[in-house]
Amino acid sequence: MRSKFYEDPIDDYLPQNGNRGYRVSRYELELSYKPASNRLTGRAVVIAVTTEVRLWVTLDLSQSLAVSKVLVNGSKAAKFVHQHGKLAITPQQKIPAGGVLEITVQYSGTPKPVRGQWGEVGWEELTEGSLVASQPNGAASWFPCDDHPSAKASYRISITTDSPYYAMANGTLVRKQAKASQTTWVYEAPEPMATYLATVQIGHYRKYRVGSPGEPVPMHAVVPARLRANFDHDFARQPEMMALFAERFGPYPFEHYSVVVTDDDLDIPIEAQGISIFGANHCDGRRGAERLVAHELAHQWFGNSLTLKHWRDIWLHEGFACYAEWIWSEAAGGPSADQLARAARANLARQPQDIIVGDPGPEDMFDDRVYKRGALTLHALRLELRDRLFFELLREWTARYRHSSVTTEEFVDLAGHYSVAPLRGLFALWLGTAELPQLPPLGGQGHQNTR
């Protein structure tokens, strides 16, 4: 039986996620976490503006967390129902369209990852501490939210945990206070951020500066002491990557950048806004994961500053980050982007060609073919436009939509201004058909614009 609070999906890829009737502008989270028992206690203030008259509103929140109290606009406790991952709230008074909506939720429990077709995502215990890896729908595992990537907001995240632990969240550390056996860490993240990019990392870490003090973008490492030497070797070229990507993609979109390396191994690195998280296995002392270092850094532009409006456009994140790996390789003296592109195409030609990169479906949206063919789309575009116009396009793309939500159509429209020949056929071929196209030869003339 359908709940009376059921509404039409915002995104067909995640029909249970996202909520109607309001737009969140800010989250203020006060969290207390006990690593030994994996116990989380939270107070979340969700500040929003209503977009229509509502008798009730919903937030996404895992059933692993129990809600004890809800307030709306500071008034007496509101009625609420928490079931099927939705917290439905009925204020005492109807909220008019355009009205301020401030929801305070008190909750606690044992946080667990959200289990779905992409595995387990969200709050996860480590051997010593915890991490958050929420893509695509794990944010509700640790705070009540409007869990859809188009719903971007600013954040203030306060974490209180046992004093031996280092606690990190997105943004700038604005306060750190030790009291008895616990320490409170308070972070402020003013730039709009999608819920899945919000993170908390807790472990026996130490924080180090990366690169020289004169670097234009401050960079830090938050790593176990035992991995410091490996990190210094494996991530030594990160300042060069930052400089290259700032030149190719436009200015770095946040105040600073940090890399967390957990004491546990991780299957894959994880992006968060202003932060990338790697496992101890990615810090091997042999630079074995350098392409992934480039990939995660590139996500700060493509995915974190520019965030997709709908999950079907995932290639706008992963195709761009994959192509950044190739851009770094050719700048660092490795194989050129063209060599890597042709090798990737040859590999894809041996795999099933039954995926539409521009709309792969929820089951396949993290398929490696989306990553590689998305990158090949960009390489085909680069061969068409040639380098000068191609990188001008990328810089305008990141500047025009800085800290915003984006669609494939917007990128296609913008790219069209950089060529006198129509480009829609190129995008339709690479993004809209299952059959794998051929790459044009290197050194073709391409079409030039008069820009």
Say how many residues make up the chain. Answer: 451
All structural domains of the chain, each given as residue ranges with its CATH number in brackets, are 22-200 (2.60.40.1730), 206-298 (3.30.2010.30), 307-432 (1.10.390.10)
| Residues contacting residue 334 through CB under 8 Å, at least 6 positions apart | none
Rounded to a whole number of angstroms, the distance between the first and last alpha carbons of the chain is: 58
Tens-of-pLDDT digits for all 451 residues of the chain? 456 666 889 999 999 999 999 999 999 999 999 999 999 999 999 999 999 998 999 999 999 999 999 999 987 789 999 999 999 999 988 888 999 999 999 999 999 999 988 999 999 999 999 999 999 999 999 999 999 999 999 999 999 999 999 999 999 999 999 999 999 999 999 999 999 999 999 999 999 999 888 889 999 999 999 999 999 999 999 999 999 999 999 999 999 999 999 999 999 999 999 999 999 999 999 999 999 999 999 999 999 999 999 999 999 999 999 999 999 999 999 999 999 999 999 999 999 999 999 999 999 999 999 999 999 999 999 999 999 999 999 999 999 999 999 999 999 999 999 999 999 999 999 999 999 999 999 875 444 443 4
* Strand blocks (E) in 296-431: 307-308, 405-406
Q: Contact, 353 vs 361, CB < 8 A?
A: no
Predicted local confidence at residue 95, as pLDDT: 84
Q: Contact, 440 vs 342, CB < 8 A?
A: no
Cα–Cα distances (Å) from 163 to 142, 173, 205, 220, 359, in that order, read: 21, 16, 12, 21, 46
Predicted local confidence at residue 97, as pLDDT: 93
Which of 316, 317, 320 is CA-nearest to residue 409? Answer: 316
CA-CA distance, 351 to 334, in Å (whole number)?
A: 26
Q: Contact, 298 vs 320, CB < 8 A?
A: yes
Could you tell me whether strands 166-169 and 57-60 are parallel, antiparallel, or unpaired per DSSP bridges?
A: unpaired
- The single-letter DSSP state of residue 390 is H
Burial of 373 (0-12, 13-18, 19+ CB in 10 A): buried
| Residues contacting residue 176 through CB under 8 Å, at least 6 positions apart | 183, 184, 185, 186
To the nearest 10°, the Cα dihedral for 58, 64, 69, 73? -30
| Residues contacting residue 183 through CB under 8 Å, at least 6 positions apart | 160, 161, 162, 163, 165, 167, 176, 177
Write down the pTM of the prediction. 0.96
Helix, strand, coil distribution of the chain in percent, nearest 5: 30, 30, 40
Q: Contact, 299 vs 277, CB < 8 A?
A: no
Q: Contact, 275 vs 259, CB < 8 A?
A: yes
User: Long-range CB contacts (< 8 A, 24+ apart) of 351-357?
Assistant: 353/434, 353/435, 353/436, 354/434, 355/434, 356/431, 356/432, 356/433, 356/434, 357/315, 357/319, 357/430, 357/431
Kindly report the backbone phi and psi dihedral angles of residue 62, in degrees, each rounded to the nearest multiple of 5, phi listed first. Answer: -60, 150
For 199, the 3-state DSSP assignment is coil
Kindly report the backbone phi and psi dihedral angles of residue 240, in degrees, each rounded to the nearest multiple of 5, phi listed first. Answer: -65, -40
